[in-house]
Chain A
Amino acid sequence: MAGQLSTRKVRAKDQKSVLLRVLCLSLLIAIFSCAGIASAQSIAFFPLLDLSIDPNGINSQLTEKVRQELLKRGKILIPAEEVMHFLVRNRIRSLGKLTSYQTSLIRKELGADLVLQSTVCQIEESDTPLLSLNLQLSRTSDERIVWAQTEHLYYSDMISFLGIEDPHKLEDLYEPFFTSLFATMPEHVDLGGEPLSNLDIDTVIISPQYLRPGENVSCKIKMHNLLDEEAPQPQLIVQANGQEHPLIPDEEGYYLQTSWPAVEDAGTFLITLKATWPSGISQEGIVGSYSIDVEKPTVKLHLIGTELDGEILFSDKLIIIPKLLEPEPISRWEITVIDEEEEAIVLMGASGLMPRRITWQGKTSLGGIAPAGNYWITFTVWDRAQRESSAEAKVQFRPEPPLIVVDVNQDLDRVLVDLDNTIDTPIYFWWAKFFGEDGELLKLVQGTELPVTIELDSSPDPEYKIQCLLTARDILGNQSQQNIANLFQLSESGADGEEFSIETEWVEEF
């Protein structure tokens, strides 16, 4: 009896011990499974942005290496193909710069808990290798960056006294580099938290941004959430200058839009978007601004040329300096040159800054040389509110060089040479040199006024040749040169109407 009792006690004890073991085991399993769940956070790992190539470079080789290192450390990664499809589907063209909205899409479309963006800051694959990477881990639930790390390793950071196992290629850096890079990466990230910003604005178009009093301001906004029909839609109102303007969908349902007339007062007015969700939560943010311009610009023209009798003359180039009396940014400018027949021979303009100076070389917009004559230059500017101001100035274009008419009269014992200028532009200076047959300088005459008569003390022998070199320059810088081989021939030909040679090129040797 006592033996049976003790056997029962032993059995009961055994059962208790088994039960305890089972309990402990299940507790351990529960702990391990919890830990398993905790570490099973999926990561969408994006291809590496490689700044050593260009601002939008991609490094596929290192992307695969980092991916392998992450897998080696037990991370659960979204398949690379799915990540690539996500990039293509959402038209994401630049790496390493995901927006909060794109991060939230990753959660929705890829089911990832975390996003890992990486950047190659520096890389060198020589015998003195260098590698530096930057990692940013974001949480998709609230789009916040939860961990970031920059790691760098240069070959000389690893060289030893004896030179054993010194790195000589990039691969030699990998082991210590990745160990250090991932050393502080959290095993488990708390997936709670609230987003930093709720206003998921895709695009804002305010037009015009600069306007006149009474003109209509149009505001078009595209929200990311509008594309997501399942998401609760907020009521959206735009506030500007103390007035509220409800946003309504446009015809295509792509944008939300509203418009209102601008007030009479000058100034810059901020546009605030106020969103109120069905839950009662409201949020507002400034989405842009517009400016009302009440002042008209006033432009003046200053021409740098030669002034004669109150008119501006030029021969080779005219410098035009436009000035705004009250400096302000302009949206565009235009210059026109009108000829005597009221035809525009030059039309040029551009948007943006007004040029500090313009040089007109007397050419038409088609590239040809404009004929001599009077021209009217008009410079027009438009400010950012499209208010216009013009200034006009008249100029005379005189590109012709002085045309000196030479008349030779022979007397009994002397030769008289008459010089006259047939062009209206006043002469700045002239000189004439007369040479005998043997090259002897007979006379050198110079002056600043024409007409003039020069008397040569030479035998009026028609067989004797007198050479004349003649130069004249007008006040605009136009210059003419003549080389008359024989003055008497000129005289005879003038009488008989025969041809004679007047060389217009410079032949005198210095």
Chain B
Amino acid sequence: MKYWTRLSLIFFLFLLAGCAKEVPIIQKLAPLPAQGSCKIAVLPLINKISFPQGGAIVNKILLSELVATGRFQVFPEGDILEIYQQLLIYPLQQPNREQLEMIGGRLTPDLFLGGTILKMYEKKHADYVDTEITFVLDLYDGKSGQLLWSTYHRRLGSEYQQIMHLGRINSITALARRMSQEIIADWLEQGMIPCPE
């Protein structure tokens, strides 16, 4: 292959990589429940960031987006926290498999949705805000507490900018909502079976 042809090919691949859409990275460790993933218990997310109430914000948004699809039954946050209190689990502590089994025995969900927020960043400028969120969401079996799927997702608010300032995401809440929608859509695309309609 000639030098210039090779260089052109590399340049073309570089351009393609630039246009590539960042999608959540799903690691499938075990198959999701065969009976479907209708009932979901959203566990408090582990907060490894200094952003005030970052975990609580993402928790609320994630729960809302699952409900908003109209295809999942989501347990109220209060029910999960009540069992955490009874089992002496701190809200920022990831329950172990035995504890998940106990929570599963009480609520009988199909899946647990937990995870860790790795980065949450918001910096204001004159007319726009730089935002970034990185998190890992884990799906556990609702009976055994076994880790089934793990999803890594990282997004910047500027990635959604189209022309001028249009499309740009200027708040952590908006970015978390958009990322949650992307993840749920990806899960459904990857074979997650929601409630029968």
Q: Which residues of A contact B (CB under 8 A)?
A: 51-52, 54-55, 96-100, 102-103, 119, 121-122, 128, 130, 132, 134-136, 138, 143-150, 152, 154, 156-157, 159, 184, 196-197, 199, 201, 203-204, 268, 270, 272, 284-289
Are B60 and A119 neighbours in the complex by a CB distance under 8 Å? yes
Residue of B nearest to A98 (CB): B78
Is B74 interfacial (CB 8 A cutoff)? yes
B69 to A, closest residue via Cβ = A148
Q: Cβ of B174 and Cβ of A286 under 8 Å apart?
A: no
In the assembled complex, the Cα of A270 lies from the Cα of B128 at a distance in Å of 54
- A interface majority secondary structure: strand
Once the chains bind, are B165 and A156 in contact (CB under 8 Å)?
Answer: yes
Q: Could you tell me if A148 and B67 are in contact, using CB atoms closer than 8 angstroms?
A: yes
A463 and B28 CA atoms in complex are apart in Å by 97
Q: Which of B73, B98, B106 has the most CB of A within 10 A?
A: B106
Measured CA separation A196–B39 after assembly (Å): 9
Give bound CA distance, A159 to B166, whole Å.
10
Contact residues in A for B78 (Cβ distance below 8 Å) = 97-100, 102
The CA of A284 and the CA of B107, in the complex, are separated in Å by: 10
Residue of A97, A122, A157, A284 touching B77 (CB-CB under 8 A): A97
Q: Which of B70-127 contact A (CB under 8 A)?
A: 73-79, 81-82, 86-87, 98, 101-102, 104-108, 124, 127
Interface: B190 (CB within 8 A): no
Can you list 11 contacts pairing A with B, beta carbon distance less than 8 Å?
A: A51-B53, A55-B53, A98-B76, A99-B79, A121-B57, A145-B74, A148-B63, A197-B75, A197-B79, A203-B86, A285-B108
Complex alpha-carbon distance, A201 and B98, angstroms: 19
Residue A204 contacts which of B76, B86, B101 (CB distance < 8 angstroms)?
A: B86
Q: Sorted from nearest, which 8 A-B pairs have the closest CB atoms? A: A286-B105, A148-B64, A132-B173, A99-B78, A148-B67, A154-B170, A51-B53, A97-B78
CB-CB under 8 A from A97, the residues of chain B are 76-78, 81
Given contacts A136-B64, A154-B171, A201-B86, contact A145 B76 (CB under 8 A): yes
The tally of residues in B whose CB lies under 8 Å from a CB in A reads: 43
Residues of A within 8 Å of B67, CB to CB, are: 136, 145-148
Q: In whole angstroms, what is the CA distance A285 to B73 when docked?
A: 19
Known A99-B76, A150-B61, A150-B64: A132·B105 in contact at CB below 8 Å: no
Set of chain A residues within 8 Å of B64, measured between Cβ atoms: 134-136, 148-150
A28 to B90, CA, bound (A): 57
Are A152 and B177 in contact, CB atoms less than 8 angstroms apart? yes
User: A110 to B172, alpha carbons, bound, how many Å?
Assistant: 36
List residues of chain B with CB within 8 A of the CB of A287: 86, 102, 105-106
Given A100-B78, A128-B124, the answer on whether A288 and B87 have CB atoms closer than 8 Å is yes
Q: Is the CB of B75 within 8 A of A196?
A: yes
- Given the interface pairs A138-B76, A148-B68, A154-B129, the reply to whether A132 lies near B106 with Cβ below 8 Å is no
Q: For A268, what are the chain B residues with a Cβ–Cβ distance below 8 Å? A: 98
Q: Does B10 lie at the interface of the complex (its beta carbon under 8 Å from any beta carbon of A)?
A: no
Apart from A102-B78, A143-B76, what 11 extra A-B contacts exist at CB < 8 Å? A52-B53, A119-B60, A132-B173, A132-B174, A136-B63, A136-B64, A136-B67, A146-B67, A152-B174, A156-B128, A196-B108
* C-alpha gap A387/B79 in the complex (Å): 36
Alpha-carbon distance A477/B81, docked complex (angstroms): 56
Smallest CB–CB gap between A186 and chain B, Å?
11
